[in-house]
Amino acid sequence: MKFKKDFVFGVATSAPQVEGAALEDGKGLSIWDVFARIPGTIADNTTPDTTCDMYHRWKEDIRLMKELNIESYRFSFSWSRILPDGKGKVNQKGLDYYKRMIDELHRQEIMPNATIYHWDLPYELEREGGWLNRDIINWYGEYASLLFREFGDSIPLWATINEPIATYVGYAAGFFAPGRKNEQYGRQANHHVLLSHGEGVRRFREENLSNAEIGIVVDIWNHHPLRADHEGDKKLAELENEKSYRSYLNPIFCGCYSEGLLAYMKENNCMPQMMPGDMEKINQKLDFFGLNCYNRVVDCADPELLKKQKKEFIGGNYMDNGAEYYSKAVYDAAHILKDEYKLDIPIYVTENGTYNCTEEIREDGSIHDAQRIQYINGFLEWIKKAIEDGIDIRGYYAWSLLDNWEWSGGFNARYGLVHTDFETQKRTCKDSALWYKNMIREVKSQYNS
């Protein structure tokens, strides 16, 4: 089986992870700019101040994408670069930056795929309660409308939100910005993110764009029980799925929270405040779905057993640092969408990649990352199988173009096809980048004759 002619191969990044220039040209602070300055929050004590400096190097980086046969670039807008206070005054320099970048993508025939919100809430809004304040639905809506009016049809694929679960992590688990730790806050923030998604879709429809589609990006890390016949393991895996992907997909596609999640929230006193009409607002027809998929998770009621005996129970393949390599995750996720949610809109795999592999730097400067190639290739094979099953997957985006700033992981987790030297900003293609380039050429050349 081959990928179809119009299957899109892309790369993905997000603004706070690659742009840098965090304090330049009128940009306001985001919650990550502030959070990263709290000692102990980021593994290597770094900040998003400079990262890959793409704010200044966008032209070279787009040229690099072109050299690598990249057909689409998925990026995100920085809310506080465009609206430094999150609302009100617009920073023209911020809009100009994206305008230049998007024009250049079109010149190079690389399709822009834009995310409106990828975790970097303006700090001024956090000071007013951030995702806990219901007014955010309108703050987000105004920001989204501004983007639709400025960039509308020049961006064929728009995503309202990237991985809404990050907001839960930021308000309940506390290891993402803004670093709050309260389960009810997490659930409330989630509810407002979902409502903001709905508001974004409504405002998108209002603009009547003719060449643009709207969707959302959600990550699916499917939870499996370690022991298939163990009640405790099965219950745990089930609950974890309720608390993760189903918390988002049920409201978005079915218009309600699942029974399982409602029961959990009642028992744990963390039910969000909801208003009549909320579910209708969240549950709107989308044009496409963005799936982020990296791995599965294996759960065991006995954590010691999981640590010691995972391999014995589930077998499988492992990356150099011991993480399981389970490329079927993407096939399973596609089937969740088709079988559990009866999804009838196109799917793009909007993120997939790894940092769990050895990167050997040779004397000639080349970078050997064989496991990353194996990882991506394995996922692509399972995507083909899902397509064979009739699931409408239209594209694949590797995470990421460049080694970048991996949130609380700082610069330690290198996900790039291209190596970044954070001292000199020199980019060096790893073997995986060259492999990706050739793979795209081979797939497409079958259609050129």
Residues numbered 250 to 309 that lie near ligand GCO (CB under 6 A) are 292
Cβ proximity to ligand GCO: between 162 and 420 the closer is 162
Count, residues near ligand GCO per rule CB under 6 A: 10
CA-atom Rg of the chain in angstroms: 21
Using CB under 6 A as the binding rule, whether residue 399 contacts ligand GCO is answered as: yes
Residue 109 CB, nearest approach to ligand GCO (Å): 25
Annotated ligand binding at 17? The verdict is yes
Using CB under 6 A as the binding rule, whether residue 325 contacts ligand GCO is answered as: no
CA distance 170 to 193: 12
Residue 42 CB, nearest approach to ligand GCO (Å): 13
Annotated ligand binding at 399? The verdict is yes
Using CB under 6 A as the binding rule, whether residue 32 contacts ligand GCO is answered as: no
For ligand GCO, the binding residue among 30, 51, 80, 162 (CB under 6 A) is: 162
Residues numbered 186 to 245 that lie near ligand GCO (CB under 6 A) are 219
CA distance 184 to 37: 26
Using CB under 6 A as the binding rule, whether residue 403 contacts ligand GCO is answered as: no
Residue 351 CB, nearest approach to ligand GCO (Å): 5
Annotated ligand binding at 374? The verdict is no
Annotated ligand binding at 294? The verdict is yes
Catalytic positions, written as ranges:
163, 351
Using CB under 6 A as the binding rule, whether residue 72 contacts ligand GCO is answered as: no
Annotated ligand binding at 79? The verdict is no
Cβ proximity to ligand GCO: between 17 and 41 the closer is 17
Known binding-site residue numbers for substrate = 17, 118, 162, 294, 399, 406-407
Known binding-site residue numbers = 17, 118, 162, 294, 399, 406-407
- Residues near ligand GCO, by CB under 6 A: 14, 17, 162-163, 219, 292, 351, 399, 406, 415
